[in-house]
Structure 1
Amino acid sequence: MTIPLLILIDSVQDYLPEIQARGFQPVYAPTAQMRADAIAQHGQDIRVVLTRGATGLKADEMAVMPRLELVCSLGVGYENIDLAAAHARGIIVTNGPGANAVSVADHAMALLLGVARHLPQADAWVRQGHWSGFMGPQVTGKRLGILGLGTIGLEIARRGANGFGMEVGYFNRRARPETGYTYFDNPRDLAAASDFLVIATPGGAGTRHLVDAQVLQALGPNGYLINIARGSVVDTDALISALSDGGIAGAGLDVVDGEPQVPQALLKLGNVVLTPHSAGRSPEAVAATVALFLKNATAHFAGQPVLTPVLEAHAQAA
């Protein structure tokens, strides 16, 4: 007997045969319309949902899935999964901590280098037939601030410190003296001590607009903001203002609040590098996250504990 599985994300399309071979019956619905149709047509049968933090799963959607037992977030985030509704019904929620950390950290450094060295603009300039230099600051030896020193934050810190000789500082819910990096007890002071400020925090209410106008002002006109976490962590209006009036030098953004819609004011700015929430989408990372999902789902339906549960206490802490 196969287990009906609702898939709400597009990045696993190549893995559908493997998922099916493991005993699951995929209902693939990565767009809003497909999602609504799939829930209406198959909700009564669905026993497991595969989503991600930004895509989420709402309480009213769970309500029309009476057989739902398991909700799996492909990445580390789970901010748009209604955990209260899931826990109230005894639905188990899992996530994928660490599975895509290497890929996300690589992408963070790519955005950092890309915005500092004007790589997209330089590429476009050459393709238009020009051949003159673009000047941007060197990265080596600069100050790297990291908001959130979890698994991804640590990977970014290692790249900065070991690859570019950067001086690393961080803000975190708790100090991590064992890392040897410099701890700051608030984002503003960290920003003031950084040339490059990288956001690697969870999303959700606890971190909403953690980077506000004051933090951007502290980062200053020579500072750069990199966000590979969640768009909600940044006050978008304050960011647009800072980028427009020279309050900061530039930004590299893999996420935007309200994505996939991107504010036109942000799109028009020449000191921003944008990517479509793709930091964790290397082949290696997707393979690792799918493998973890399959381990969690297989364990659950075999009557065993899942490997990476999102517990209610953890959810409240995040």
Structure 2
Amino acid sequence: MKPVLLLMIPLRDQLLAQLRERFDVRHAPTQVEREAIVRSHGEEIEIVLTNGTIGISADQIDAMPRLTFACAYGAGYENIAVEHARSRGIALANGAGSNEDCVADHALALLLSAVRAIPTLDSACRQGVWRDDLPLFPQLAHKRVGILGLGSIGRKIARRCEAFDMSVGYHNRSKRSDLPYAYFGDAEALANWSDFLIVAAPGGAATRHIVNSVVLAALGSDGFLVNISRGSLVDTAALAEALSAGGLRGAGLDVYEGEPDPPAALIGLRNVVLTPHVAGSSPEALQAALACFMDNAARHLAGEPLRTPI
């Protein structure tokens, strides 16, 4: 018999079909469906596939007595009850590495779009406005970019920024001895040095609103902010105020507080570029994430070490 899998996230048909070949899938992409399946089929579930945003709670874990393995479809796992799962002996993994290139690409796309005001220029061109009637927008080359969180995605962003002849600085929980970039002891110091600040740190309570009014003030009126990590890292109200009052020149956000609802405080602002949490989504990245889960699940069922354990 196939192992019973609770799939807690939306998944495209082609990927879902691949899962059904290996597992007896209970698909619950909405909160209502998740609650119903855990209530009615919790005793059957052996494996869970979720993501960092949806996670899996301690109560849900306790409602699945046969659960032995849970995996995040992507790198983030901030809403998985990790310690509770471990106390139950449940193996945990994530999709680390599967979408890093895609996220790094999107970070640069947002930075370019915000700094060069691509949406504004696109709109102007469609309205017949010629360049002589438009303001000038800065370039990326020879500017200073600060990366808040220099993990694997942050490092890929840094390499892309180097290709644009930008100087790279970073703030991390600790200084890295294996990289040549300038290190700053906190987010404010990094923002004060930077022309552009890219947020690439993990989500969770420890990083909530790490980009606040103080950090935005340090970035300054000519600064630009990009966030491709989690919406919780940026204080939305402070960002809206800075963008509206001229305290910040522009921003590009793929994530924001209150997802999936759009950030109401930012919608009317022309100097912010928004995308709906798609930085890590491409055909290649989604297939790689599924392959990573399949490999981890196969290893777990065979009693072998996981490929990407949490």
TM range (shorter): over 0.9
Once residues 82 and 184 of structure 2 are traced to their aligned partners in structure 1, the CA distance between those partners, rounded to angstroms, is 31
Does 2:110 align with 1:111? yes
Once residues 18 and 261 of structure 2 are traced to their aligned partners in structure 1, the CA distance between those partners, rounded to angstroms, is 32
Deviating above 4 A after TM superposition, structure 1's stretches of 4 or more consecutive aligned residues are: none
Q: Secondary structure at the match of 1:178?
A: coil
* C-alpha contact 1:12 1:286 (8 A) present in aligned 2: no
* Structure 2 partner of 1:261: 261
Once residues 224 and 39 of structure 2 are traced to their aligned partners in structure 1, the CA distance between those partners, rounded to angstroms, is 45
Does 2:128 align with 1:130? yes
> What is the CA distance between 1:37 and its match in structure 2?
2.4
* Structure 2 partner of 1:313: none
Q: Secondary structure at the match of 1:179?
A: coil
Q: Secondary structure at the match of 1:226?
A: strand
Structure 2: 5+ residue stretches without partners: none
* C-alpha contact 1:9 1:30 (8 A) present in aligned 2: yes
* C-alpha contact 2:193 2:219 (8 A) present in aligned 1: yes
Equivalent AA in structure 1 for residue 206 of structure 2: G
Deviation string for 1:28-66 (max 9, x for gaps)? 221222222222232221111111111111111112111
Deviation string for 1:205-226 (max 9, x for gaps)? 1111111111100000000000
Deviation string for 1:152-182 (max 9, x for gaps)? 0000000001x20000000011112321111
Q: Secondary structure at the match of 2:215?
A: helix
Equivalent AA in structure 1 for residue 130 of structure 2: S
* Structure 2 partner of 1:63: 62
* C-alpha contact 2:257 2:263 (8 A) present in aligned 1: no
* C-alpha contact 2:104 2:157 (8 A) present in aligned 1: yes
Deviation string for 1:227-270 (max 9, x for gaps)? 00011111121111111111111111111122112331111111
Once residues 105 and 263 of structure 1 are traced to their aligned partners in structure 2, the CA distance between those partners, rounded to angstroms, is 23
Once residues 228 and 190 of structure 1 are traced to their aligned partners in structure 2, the CA distance between those partners, rounded to angstroms, is 17
Once residues 42 and 120 of structure 2 are traced to their aligned partners in structure 1, the CA distance between those partners, rounded to angstroms, is 47
> What is the CA distance between 1:132 and its match in structure 2?
2.2
Describe the shift of the 1:167–1:48 C-alpha distance in structure 2 as closer, same or farther (beyond 3 A). Answer: same
Equivalent AA in structure 2 for residue 152 of structure 1: I
* C-alpha contact 2:5 2:46 (8 A) present in aligned 1: yes
Q: Secondary structure at the match of 2:305?
A: coil
Matches within 5 A, 1:84-233: 84-127=83-126, 129-133=127-131, 134=134, 135-161=136-162, 163-233=163-233
* C-alpha contact 1:11 1:286 (8 A) present in aligned 2: no
Does 2:242 align with 1:242? yes
Q: Secondary structure at the match of 1:286?
A: helix
Identity among equivalent positions (%) equals 50
Once residues 74 and 244 of structure 2 are traced to their aligned partners in structure 1, the CA distance between those partners, rounded to angstroms, is 33
Equivalent AA in structure 2 for residue 186 of structure 1: D
Aligned length: 307
Q: Secondary structure at the match of 1:197?
A: strand
* Structure 1 partner of 2:9: 9
* C-alpha contact 2:52 2:77 (8 A) present in aligned 1: yes
* Structure 2 partner of 1:315: none
* C-alpha contact 1:116 1:224 (8 A) present in aligned 2: yes
Q: Secondary structure at the match of 1:191?
A: helix
Q: Secondary structure at the match of 1:49?
A: strand
> What is the CA distance between 1:4 and its match in structure 2?
1.0
Describe the shift of the 1:11–1:223 C-alpha distance in structure 2 as closer, same or farther (beyond 3 A). Answer: farther
* Structure 1 partner of 2:45: 46
Describe the shift of the 1:119–1:196 C-alpha distance in structure 2 as closer, same or farther (beyond 3 A). Answer: same
* Structure 1 partner of 2:82: 83
Equivalent AA in structure 1 for residue 54 of structure 2: T
Once residues 13 and 259 of structure 1 are traced to their aligned partners in structure 2, the CA distance between those partners, rounded to angstroms, is 23
* C-alpha contact 1:11 1:281 (8 A) present in aligned 2: no
Equivalent AA in structure 2 for residue 144 of structure 1: V
